[in-house]
């Protein structure tokens, strides 16, 4: 046994210098500056005469512009985004059949405001009800499907609030499925931006309906001929091929609302405007924000999913080096022309020892712009490393001790 220890000690002493050198190299690699363009000049966001707004990059959640985004305001028909989200969630978890039909109640038939012209006692497919809610903002369709899923609109409102809590919409309270005026029914621009992102990415097939410009449904009672097709109230759908949603809303108490989204060159921006003075103003203001967001900001990919960012020393393992990286792509939104002000630093936990399982956090990634923190990510093990046998483990322990001692 003594002979083995002496041999291990001699081997360790001969490798100290090399290990120290390698350690210095790793430390030098911890700060990496992303090359780019010269410093950019960023103007102030457009001044909008609205009660509240927010603009976010959908891929990074970066807030590009905002004003009083946490102000609680009645969302009017923007409420229906949660209604359709719950419908799709119910279909996904199997509590609702997407091929099923709904019997229209008297309450749904009698409701006022925007409508898809349902008749009491009529059987309507889930598919058509979704189109009626999304494309023409049918209050009757919203109530009909809410009653079908939860037994009552009040019960459905409870489901809406529970889902809002799950999604992190902490300043939202729903009392109905349609967005009809009701005291205590409110949300915020920030919360609605969160919901919008889930609508877009969680159910992409349903999201496609938000770009549909027309929907025709129903029969004229007198002539028994099909009713004239209705037009989507989102004017922006006619102004740009890049705009593909999302929803409008209006009640007299809070004015004109709009959630719009635009995708250009694989980059998506979401705009939420609450309390504009007219339909035209909310559309014009959204265009101003889109121009600002796309003209003055860009996305920078720091690393790709499973990309090896760093190989680090691991002690007592069958392998000496551990490949590390990130579970997902790292993407940040920055002002254009500021790539050269972007930096990333990688900090590894001290004295990593085997065994290490794949996807275990082993450090932190810090991303700064102009030396200001903009994002942190977990550095994870991209592989598993098994514990070595006795001889290798003892050898590594002596090397680690001697390096730390020196």
* Per-residue pLDDT at 258: 98
**Catalytic one of 52, 77, 193, 196:** 77
Query: What pLDDT does 354 receive?
Result: 87
Instruction: Look up the CATH number of domain 52-296.
Output: 3.40.710.10
| Among 80, 190, 197, 341, the one annotated catalytic | 80
Residues of the chain with CATH 3.40.710.10: 52-296
The pLDDT assigned to 226 comes to 79
The count of other CB atoms within 10 Å of the CB of residue 301 is 12
Tell me the CA end-to-end span of the chain in Å, nearest whole number: 26
Residues of the chain with CATH 2.60.410.10: 2-33+304-405
pLDDT at 405: 66
pLDDT of the residue at 406 = 63
- Is 240 a residue of the active site? no
Average confidence (pLDDT) per 10 residues, the chain, 406 residues: 44 42 34 35 92 97 97 98 98 93 97 94 96 97 98 98 98 98 98 98 97 90 80 96 97 97 96 98 98 96 91 88 93 94 93 91 96 94 89 72 68
Classify 38 as helix, strand or coil: coil
- Closest by CA position to 48, among listed 334, 256, 297, 191: 256
Identify the CATH assignment for 2-33+304-405 out of 3.40.190.80, 3.40.50.300, 3.40.1010.10, 2.60.410.10.
2.60.410.10
Q: What is the pLDDT of residue 2?
A: 40
Token pair listed for 223: 């002539």
- Give the tokens for residue 233: 């109230």
Q: What is the pLDDT of residue 16?
A: 39
- Mark whether 137 is an active-site residue: yes
> Do the Cβ atoms of 337 and 305 come closer than 8 Å?
no
Please say whether the beta carbons of 315 and 287 come within 8 A: no
Output the pLDDT for position 390: 82
400 is catalytic: no
- pLDDT value, residue 388: 78
According to DSSP, residue 315 is labeled: B
For Cα atoms 253, 256, 261, give the angle at the middle one, nearest 5 degrees.
145
How high is the pLDDT of residue 317?
83
Q: Are 289 and 51 in contact (CB under 8 A)?
A: no
Relative to beta strand 101-103, strand 123-125 is: antiparallel
Report pLDDT for 129: 97
pLDDT for 5:
44
Q: Among the options 52, 105, 137, 142, which is catalytic?
A: 137
């Amino acid at each position: 046994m003594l002979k083995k220890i002496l041999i291990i000690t001699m081997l360790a002493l001969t490798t100290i210098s090399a290990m120290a050198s390698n350690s210095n190299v790793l430390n030098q690699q911890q700060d990496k500056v992303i090359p780019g363009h010269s410093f950019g000049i960023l103007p102030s966001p457009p001044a909008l005469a609205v009660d509240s707004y927010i603009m976010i990059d959908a891929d990074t959640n970066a807030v590009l512009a905002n004003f009083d985004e946490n102000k609680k305001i009645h969302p009017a028909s923007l409420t229906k985004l949660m209604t359709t989200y719950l419908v799709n969630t119910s279909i996904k978890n199997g509590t609702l059949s997407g091929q099923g039909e709904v019997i229209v109640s008297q309450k749904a038939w009698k409701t006022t405001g925007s409508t898809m012209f349902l008749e009491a006692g009529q059987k309507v497919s889930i598919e058509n009800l979704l189109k009626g809610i999304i494309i023409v903002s049918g209050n009757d369709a919203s109530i009909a499907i809410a009653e079908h899923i939860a037994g009552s609109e009040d019960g459905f409102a409870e489901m809406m609030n529970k889902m809002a809590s799950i999604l992190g919409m902490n300043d939202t309270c729903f009392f109905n499925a349609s967005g009809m005026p009701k005291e205590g029914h409110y949300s915020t621009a920030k919360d609605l931006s969160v919901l919008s992102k889930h609508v877009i990415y969680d159910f992409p097939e349903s999201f496609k309906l938000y770009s549909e410009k027309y929907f025709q449904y129903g029969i004229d009672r007198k002539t028994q001929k099909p009713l004239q097709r209705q037009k989507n109230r989102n004017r922006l759908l006619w102004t740009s091929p890049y705009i593909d949603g999302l929803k409008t809303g209006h009640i007299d108490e809070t004015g004109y609302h709009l959630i719009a989204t635009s995708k250009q060159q694989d980059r998506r921006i979401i705009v939420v405007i609450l309390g504009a003075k007219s339909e035209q103003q909310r559309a014009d203001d959204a265009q101003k924000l889109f121009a600002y967001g796309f003209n003055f900001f860009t996305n920078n990919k720091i690393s790709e999913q499973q990309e090896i960012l760093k190989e680090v020393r691991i002690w007592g393992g069958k392998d000496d080096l551990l490949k590390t990286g990130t579970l997902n792509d790292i993407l940040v939104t920055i002002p254009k022309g500021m790539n050269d002000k972007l930096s990333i630093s990688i900090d590894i936990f001290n004295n990593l020892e085997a065994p290490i399982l794949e996807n275990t956090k082993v450090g932190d990634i810090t991303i700064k712009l102009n030396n200001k923190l903009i994002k942190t990510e977990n550095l994870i093990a991209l592989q598993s490393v098994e514990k070595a046998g006795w001889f290798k483990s003892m050898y590594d322990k002596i090397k680690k001790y001697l390096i730390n001692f020196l």
